[in-house]
Structure 1
Amino acid sequence: MNKDFKTNQIYLIAFFAIIFFTLIGNLTRGLWNPDEARVAGIIQHMISSNNFVVPILGTEPFMEKPPFYGILAAFFMKYFNFGALETLRLFNSFLILLTLYFLFKLAEILMDSKRALLTIIIMGTFEGFVMQSSWIRADIGLSLFIMIAFWAIAYSFLKKKLYYLFIASMASSFAFMCKGPIAFVFIFSFWLIFLINYILKNKGQILKLIFIHIFSIIFILTPILIWIFLLLKEPNGQHLFNIWFWENQVGRLSGSSTSLGHINKSYIYYLGPILEYTLPWTPLFIVGLIQSFKKFDWLKFTVSLSFIISMIILSIASTKRGMYLQPLLPLMAIITAFYLSKFLETKWLKVYSYILLFIFTVVVIILNLAPFFIHFLQEKLPHDVYNDLSTISFKQLIPFVSLAALLVIFLKRKSLNAVHLILYTTLSLYFSMYFYVYPILDKSRNLEGVATKVYQFIPPSDHINTVGVNLKETTRGLFDFYYKWSIKNYSYKKFSTLEQLNLKKVKYIILRSEDTQKTIKLNNPRKEFKVVQKIDFPSNKPGEHEGWVILKGKE
């Protein structure tokens, strides 16, 4: 009893630490390159234009995915206004916490409340969760609605309350409306395995199942068809639909849309992200996945098979990104919890926990000693990052606290079981990551400052006469979100063919600094432009830099 009480205490402490870290990770940073500025800009445009059908980036439709995540965020920002960025991040945090709640409810059905809490803790300490959950992306909404669908499907079949399939249907539809058909890839196999098992055990309810599933399909299709109908009614609606469906959905699957990027034909691409995203629980997840097939238990089998089917489909698709695994993290956490709930004291697990303790301690020692050796990396680090890491200040107490905690864990290691040791060790490291490393990264990746430089450099009266040439999505989203400044963006070819009347109105041009060699193309007998300002900022790729060049037209 005392042992169970102590375990429950540890789980509760870890749970509240995860909630706290999740909020801190979301609420204490600006917009990061590359995705966040684009998504935030689209949401801001929805609020100002009241157009909830066609996502707009800058002045142009951006038909990469359906608009439901943006719609939810826009309404949240309208009714809870704590500042645009703060409210948007609070909305993101709310969706993440809801995802954890429904994961708890699902794990509680599959196991019990204690192991459900363990599942949440595993999920919350996954490296993939820590890395992905603080990004403003439609994938956050996708993950939530897939999680609700998983819970409702399990509840309807295990508790024999089939009307819960209507909830699963609506959640599936909303998941589609956040990201597209990929939502059904994750949900379909989970539903199918539960359905087959239910039919085998309840053969007299076939007609009832058919009736409920007919209505469920209606529930799924209604929001989707309404959006498609409204989209087709828009100017150039058929063209917008083709861009969304054929280029961004079918094209990404088949690999025909090479211009959209992230094409990877390797069928083993996701092995690396799986090993990374499940840290520090990776070996336990792998063993749990294998055990679910060696020692048959149909609940474990269902979760594991659903995960594998989803992974096979993702691996067949031509477009691949590690972040696409985010909706599957709950299944990975459940698979790991299934294993841990019965194998808490294995010898190899204890050894693994000691290895983690050693590695994480080395990482924290490096953070503590950073001011003394970071000068060797000065040329490879952004200026702000180097200044922070090379300066000894009160912030240095944060990694010191982590190191002290790890020392206490080391001294008490023999009295802790392996799971508790992994938890304490991981949370000690995350304390430094959230409060020391992330704020430093934010200084280099937060794009508000560089956007402000551009906005303030160009006179307010000329904002309306400023255009972009070959600008990235990030840039257009930044100005839309922070300043409600929608910049018309041209390709070089289109700009060179501008009519004299339109060209005369252009006072300033913003273009990417990597395109400075092409500026000669912007000068022609009709109007000449000269470089008046250069603004650089770090790329999302380590060691690289991006930036903007501002050109002013000669009168």
Structure 2
Amino acid sequence: MESKAKTRYLAVLVLVVISVGIIAPNLGQISFWDPDEARYAECARNAIKHGHWIIPYYNGHPRIVKPPLMVWLVSISSLVVGKGKVSELTSRLPSLLAGVGTVVVTFLLALAMLTSETLAFLAAFILSTTFLFYKQARFAITDMVLLSFITLACYAFYKAITKEQRVYVWLMYTALALATMDKGPAVGLVLPGLIFLVYLWSQGSLEKLKFLFYPPAILLYLVIVLPWPLLLGKKYLKKFLWENNVLRFAGNPSWRTPFWFYMVNFPTHFTPWMAFLPMVAVAMKKAREDLGKIALPLAWFAVTFVIFSVSDTKRSSYILPLYPAAAIITAWAIGKGLEMKKELTGAWRLSLGFFVGVVMAYALGLVVMFCRYVPLFTPTATAALGLALIMATFIAFTAKLKNFQEGLLLAGASALVLALGYTAFYQPLFDRYYRSPKPYCLDIKARVGTYPLYHYGSIRAHDIFYTAKGIIPSLPRGGGPQGTFFVMTRAKKLESLRKLYPYLRVVKRYPFRDREIILMKGEGKKGEETLRDNSHL
């Protein structure tokens, strides 16, 4: 018994090291890519500087599109680690910790269901080396924190109904409450609730709902969740629940995508383990009698996939909650493949061959991206290109292996190298040569100083964060503001801006990605009239 406990502790330690090793490289060196990263960072800075802890403030206005948990986490991280300074590192630490925690809980959940340390380790390893997972774990947004609490809720739910211990019911409702405070009741409560309901129905165990319906734990959920909406009042119902939950789900034609969007999106983001989907399909057919072990992950995957497929608004990150389930199902299928080698020889060869194709495509993609955006003969780029080509050649041998265990080990090693290649090589290079808005924002900040800064056209969140100024999204009609002022705009808006304010002069042009950012300066006159809102342009 002691040796088993030591084995499990060692497995958890190794998983933590692997997860941190994949997620942490250059975490504080890469600028904010996702617009929401800069929004949460800016809200956290306002919370620390101006005390906006209950209602987050962004660019001088309340922002209640999401509950404040992520803002609180970024603020606490910045106070503890950054001594009050909000940075890329302090903003992303909550996501890193949530990602590592999700990997550990996935191991514990898989262990409880599959009763195999090896398969549980494999499930957690698959999750940690899956592209969308480690990509999102490096972003300062709500998705990874949400995933960690949903995964914890699923673990607590499973333990509660199998062990019938109240402590797990308490844990389940606490996790659901924190998930709700991260992204709202639609995905924090309703989604997990439907997963639990479908699972119990599929097992003919709906009577266990009585055990889960525990008033003291439900009261704890309400105590955690209710204060914030009560403080917001009608704004919570209109702005948050209606506009950002109901309308985004069923009334958002501008984001409408086809029902089959995730049928393509999920496999591509489950890279490189998408290669084992043929193994999953064959194992589920050949080992139907053993499907009960993965009934919860199957319900988890199916409910999440269907709900977000019928939603108008679809993004890759929205189905992140099903990735732990997919990892557990894949690990179970691989375990069946090792048990039933003769029956599943064809599936093994197909999956390993598919894996080779995935790695080759990944390596080719790196080459194409480097050729387009990165000077080819910098030492780092040359090393990264060489590594990609070496990996592609190395993994090709797995297709010829007769020993499937060796093939699986090579696949795992390749997945680890691909993940490290993305976080340690690709992201820093891509950020430096193409993606980072930081250099031009810092230059604008230095040039503008204390003068007003306006924006003509749509405002980017990273502009607000990195210039550390409240950017005014409107310009007075006519001659412009009084005194000296600056305007940021894009090259495509320059002509229309000059028609409105012909006296503006160009201070500097900044090439950025596939566009050009222009800083302009003006000396305003007195007697200007109506404000003109240009934020929609």
- Pairing 1:123–2:89 present: no
- Pairing 1:192–2:197 present: yes
**For residues 318-397 of structure 1, what are the structure 2 equivalents within 5 Å?**
318-344=312-338, 345=341, 346-347=344-345, 348-357=347-356, 360-361=359-360, 364=363, 374=371, 381=372, 385-387=373-375, 390-393=376-379, 396-397=382-383
Q: Deviations over 1:358-383 (max 9, x none)?
A: 65357547867998xx4xxxxxx4xx
Q: Deviations over 1:485-535 (max 9, x none)?
A: 222323x6xx439xx9x93256223334432233146439xxx54443333
Structure 2 equivalent of residue 510 of structure 1:
488
Contact 2:275 2:358 in 1 (8 A): no
Secondary structure in 2 aligned to 1:104? helix
CA distance in 2, matches of 1:354, 1:190: 34
The partner residue of 1:302 within 296, 304, 316 is 296
**For residues 91-240 of structure 1, what are the structure 2 equivalents within 5 Å?**
91-112=94-115, 113-180=117-184, 181-193=186-198, 195-196=200-201, 200=205, 209-210=212-213, 212=214, 214-232=215-233, 238-239=234-235
**For residues 369-518 of structure 1, what are the structure 2 equivalents within 5 Å?**
374=371, 381=372, 385-387=373-375, 390-393=376-379, 396-401=382-387, 403-404=389-390, 407=393, 414=401, 415=403, 417=405, 418-443=407-432, 444-458=434-448, 460-462=449-451, 465-475=452-462, 478-480=463-465, 482=466, 484-490=468-474, 495-496=476-477, 503-504=481-482, 507-518=485-496
Secondary structure in 1 aligned to 2:458? coil
Q: Deviations over 1:375-403 (max 9, x none)?
A: xxxxxx4xxx332xx21526523443554
- Pairing 1:245–2:241 present: yes
Contact 2:74 2:91 in 1 (8 A): yes
- How far did residue 473 of structure 1 move? 4.0
- How far did residue 36 of structure 1 move? 2.3
Contact 1:252 1:319 in 2 (8 A): yes
Secondary structure in 2 aligned to 1:510? strand
Contact 2:456 2:497 in 1 (8 A): no
Q: Which amino acid aligns with 2:349?
A: K
TM-score, structure 1 length as denominator? 0.80
Secondary structure in 1 aligned to 2:522? strand
Unaligned 5+ segments in structure 1 are 1-7, 233-237, 375-380, 539-543
- How far did residue 152 of structure 1 move? 1.0
Secondary structure in 1 aligned to 2:417? helix
TM-score, structure 2 length as denominator? 0.83
Secondary structure in 1 aligned to 2:298? helix
Q: Which amino acid aligns with 2:428?
A: P
The count of aligned residue pairs is 502
Secondary structure in 2 aligned to 1:507? strand
- How far did residue 445 of structure 1 move? 1.1
Contact 2:456 2:493 in 1 (8 A): no
Structure 2 equivalent of residue 288 of structure 1:
280
Secondary structure in 1 aligned to 2:65? coil
CA distance in 2, matches of 1:39, 1:318: 25
Q: Which amino acid aligns with 1:357?
A: V
Higher RCO (CA-CA < 8 Å; seq separation 6+): 1
CA distance in 2, matches of 1:75, 1:10: 30
Q: Which amino acid aligns with 2:464?
A: F
More deviation in 390-399 or 406-415? 406-415
- How far did residue 142 of structure 1 move? 0.9
CA distance in 2, matches of 1:474, 1:432: 28
Q: Percent identity?
A: 19
